[in-house]
Amino acid sequence: MIGEFLPVSQSGMQRRGWDELDVILITGDAYVDHPSYGVALIGRVLESRGYRVGVIAQPDWRGTDDFRRLGRPRLFFGITSGNVDSMVANYTANKRPRKKDDYTPGGKVGMRPDRALIVYANRVRQAFKDVPVVIGGIEASMRRLAHYDYWNNRVRRSILFDARADILVYGMGESQVVEIARRLSDGEAADRLDHIPGTAVIRKAPAFLNEFVTIPSCEAVADDNEQFNRAFQLFYREQNPVTARPVVQAHGDRYAVVYPPPTPLSEAELDAIYELDYRRNWHPDCDAAGGVPGLETVRHSLVTHRGCSGECNFCSLYFHQGRMVQSRSADSIVRDARRLARDPAFRGTITDMGGPTANLYGADCPRWAKKGFCSKKRCMAPQICPSLDPGYEKSLPLYRRIRAIPGVKHAFIGSGFRHDLFGGSRTDACLDELCRFHISGRMKVAPEHVSDPVLDAMGKPRIETYDAFVKQFNRISKSLPSRRYLVNYFISAHPGSTLKDALEMALYLVKRGMHPEQVQDFIPLPLTQSGAMYHTGKNPITGKRIHVAKTFRERKMQRALVQYRNPSNRQLIRDALKELKEDRLETLFFKAAAGKPPKRSAGSGGRKAGRAGSQPPPAPTSAGGQTRKTRKAARTRRRH
C-alpha cells in the first residue's frame, strides 16, 4: 500500500492488515510525508525494503500513553527531535522562547520538549524496557560526542548516554537504518551493532577495534578548554569517508565509539530515495489546525543534491551531510518535476530547485571518488580551488529541461547562492540565465560580514569577492527585462567580531544604502568550529585567541549597528558609538536611518547599482509565493 501515509494509529495498521510493526519512528515534528522531512525519508526507505513502519508524531511526553500507541515494534524505535535541534526550535539566539514553530500544526509552540531526543528516548525506555532504541537526526548528529551546549553554558556528555540509546545514527541516515534493521531482523543483539559507518555506540572498552583515534575524555574537555579544542581538532580530521578512522572518547568507565562517516550515496541510490512515493503533504490529522507552515516552503520544490563543499565554520553541514556534494541524476529530477506538474494543487511555480547551497548541483572534484576531500585545504576558502568543478555544465541543461515541462510556468531557485562561484566574466552567461529565468526577483546570497578577521573566523571568502560579484550582478541586471535584487544575509556577533568590526560592517552598509532585515544572531551550535571558538575563546585549529561577544548587551549592540534603520535600536547605537569613542558618527547613522545615506565615493557602485545589487524594495510576498517568514523557516531548515 505504498502511496498511503505511514500508519499513525492502530486503525491505520488494521487497514494495511498489520498486527505488528517492524519499526516505529518518533519525531518532534508533525508528520509531513515529504522528502524534505527526515522521518518521511527514513520511513519510506525502510518501507521500500519491505519493513512495516509506523510514525508517532509529537507525542505527549508527560506520560507514556502516546509512546504505546502503536504497540511494541519487532525491531526498534527510531527517534528524532525533528528537522531542527529542539533547542534551536524552541529558543532564539538570546535564549528566549520562540513564538512560532513552523514544524507544528498551526505553528503552535510547546508541542516538543526541550532536548526532545533525550526525553522521548527515556519515555520509550519506560514503556518498553527491552526494545532497541536508535536515535538520529540533526540533534543526534551534532551531539554524538561531548559538546559545548549554549543553552546550559557547559559541556555535556555524548547524547548517547543521556538518551540511553543502543545506537546513534548521524548524517542523513538511510544506509545506516537499513543496515540496522537488517542485522536486528537477522537476530543480532542490539549491543553487537558495530562497524556500521555513520553510527556511534557505547562500549566498555575499544580494544575490539583494529585501529582508532582516542580523543581527550568527556571529563577532560569539560574541565580544560585546551583539551576541548584538542578533542575537536582530532575529531575534525576524521570526517573524510575514504580515510577516516573510528574516534573513541572516554566517558567515565565507558566509551563513546564514533564510526567513520558513510560513503556518499551513488547517483542511482540518491535517485531511488527521492523518487519514492511520498504524499508530499501533511498528515490529515494536521488539517484541523490549518496544516504545517513549514511545508509551504518546500511543497512544490525539488531536492537536487545534498552536502556542501563550502564548509562554513558556523554551519552544521560539515559534520552532518558532509563536504562532498552528492547529486541526483538530471533524468530523476526531471521525472520529479513532471510529477509536481501533475499535482492538482500545482499552480505552475516550482519554488526551489536546490540543496543546502543552490549552485552546487553537479559539483565535483577529481579526488572525491577515490581519495575524498583534501585534508589540508578547503574547497572554497579562502578562494575557490581550481580543481572544484561547480557543475554548471550539468545544472544549466537540467534547468532548461525543467522549464520546458508542460505546466511549469516558473522554475525558481529559492536556496541561497554561493556568490564566490561568480564574480568573473567567464560566469556571465551562467548568471544571466539564472537571473533571467530562475530568480523570482530576488537572489539570496550570504556575505555574512565585511571584516577580514571575522570572515576568516567564519571560513568565508573576503568581502572583495562579494564586491566583485555585486559588480557583475549589477552589470547583468541592466540587460534583463526587469530588475533583479539581492537579499543579503548577515550574521552578527560571530566569534572574532568586536564592536569595532560591527561598526565596520554598519558603515559598509550605510555607504551602499543597504539596510538588511535578514540578520542572524550567532548561535554556537554543538560540534561546530564556531561553537568551539565561542566556548574556548580560541580557534581550535590554529590555537589563535579570538574575541567572543558573550554578553547579551554586546550582542544587541552589534546587531543594532547592522540594523541601523530600526528605530528601537537608537539607544543601543548611541551606547555602542560612545563605547567606541565614535560619537561623531551618530548623525551619520540617524540620517541614514531616515533614508539620507551619504554620497557614494568612487567605486561604491553608484546609487542605482547600490540599490539594484543590495537592497530590494519591500514586498510582503515574492513572485515565488514565499513570504519573509517562510523564507526564514526555509533558511533555518537548510542550515540546521
Query: Total structural domains in the chain?
Result: 2
Contacts of 212 by beta carbon, 8 Å cutoff, 6+ apart:
206, 245, 246, 247, 248, 257
| 53-66 residue pLDDT tens | 999 999 999 999 99
Average pLDDT over residues 350-372: 95
Average pLDDT over residues 345-352: 96
Residue 365 domain-assigned?
Answer: no
This prediction's pTM: 0.92
- Report whether pLDDT(488) > 80: yes
At residue 478, what is the residue type? K
**CA–CA distance, 324 with 366 (Å, rounded to integer):** 11
Asked if 469 and 419 touch (Cβ cutoff 8 Å), the reply is yes
- Report whether pLDDT(5) > 80: yes
pLDDT attached to residue 3? 63
Distance from first CA to last CA of the chain, Å, rounded? 33
pLDDT attached to residue 106? 97
Among the listed residues 112, 55, 49, 59, the one whose alpha carbon sits nearest the alpha carbon of residue 78: 55
**CA–CA distance, 214 with 246 (Å, rounded to integer):** 9
| 240-278 residue pLDDT tens | 999 999 999 999 999 999 999 999 999 999 999 999 999
pLDDT attached to residue 424? 87
- Report whether pLDDT(609) > 70: no
| 136-156 residue pLDDT tens | 999 999 999 999 999 999 999
Residue 530 domain-assigned?
Answer: yes
Average pLDDT, the chain: 92
Is residue 611 very low, low, confident or very high in pLDDT (cuts 50, 70, 90)? very low
| 3-class secondary structure per residue, 56-70 | EECCCCCCCCHHHCC
Residue 572 domain-assigned?
Answer: yes
Domain extent for 490: 441-619
Q: What percent of the chain has pLDDT over 90?
A: 90
pLDDT attached to residue 613? 55
C-alpha grid cell, residue 281: 503533504
β partners of residue 201:
257
CATH number at residue 187: 3.40.50.2300
Average pLDDT over residues 413-437: 94
pLDDT attached to residue 632? 46
Residue 192 domain-assigned?
Answer: yes
Average pLDDT over residues 580-605: 76
| 198-221 residue pLDDT tens | 999 999 999 999 999 999 999 999
Average pLDDT over residues 624-635: 43
Residue 308 domain-assigned?
Answer: no
Is residue 370 very low, low, confident or very high in pLDDT (cuts 50, 70, 90)? very high
At residue 155, what is the residue type? V
**CA–CA distance, 181 with 43 (Å, rounded to integer):** 12
**CA–CA distance, 183 with 180 (Å, rounded to integer):** 5
CATH number at residue 517: 3.30.750.200
Is residue 301 very low, low, confident or very high in pLDDT (cuts 50, 70, 90)? very high
Task: For strands 167-169 and 133-135, give the pairing.
Answer: parallel
C-alpha grid cell, residue 137: 537526526
Residue 323 domain-assigned?
Answer: no
- Identify which has the larger pLDDT, 623 or 372: 372
Q: CA-CA distances (angstroms) from residue 511 to 18, 155, 599, 611?
A: 66, 42, 8, 11
Residue 313 domain-assigned?
Answer: no
Among the listed residues 187, 214, 220, 236, the one whose alpha carbon sits nearest the alpha carbon of residue 74: 187
Average pLDDT over residues 34-41: 97
- Cis peptide upstream of residue 382 (ω within 30 degrees of 0): yes
Question: How buried is residue 620: exposed, middle or buried, by Cβ count under 10 Å (0-12/13-18/19+)?
Answer: exposed
- Report whether pLDDT(612) > 90: no
Residue 176 domain-assigned?
Answer: yes
Among 258, 293, 324, the domain-final residue is 258
| 514-531 residue pLDDT tens | 988 879 999 999 999 999
Average pLDDT over residues 403-428: 95
- Report whether pLDDT(124) > 90: yes
Average pLDDT over residues 542-569: 95
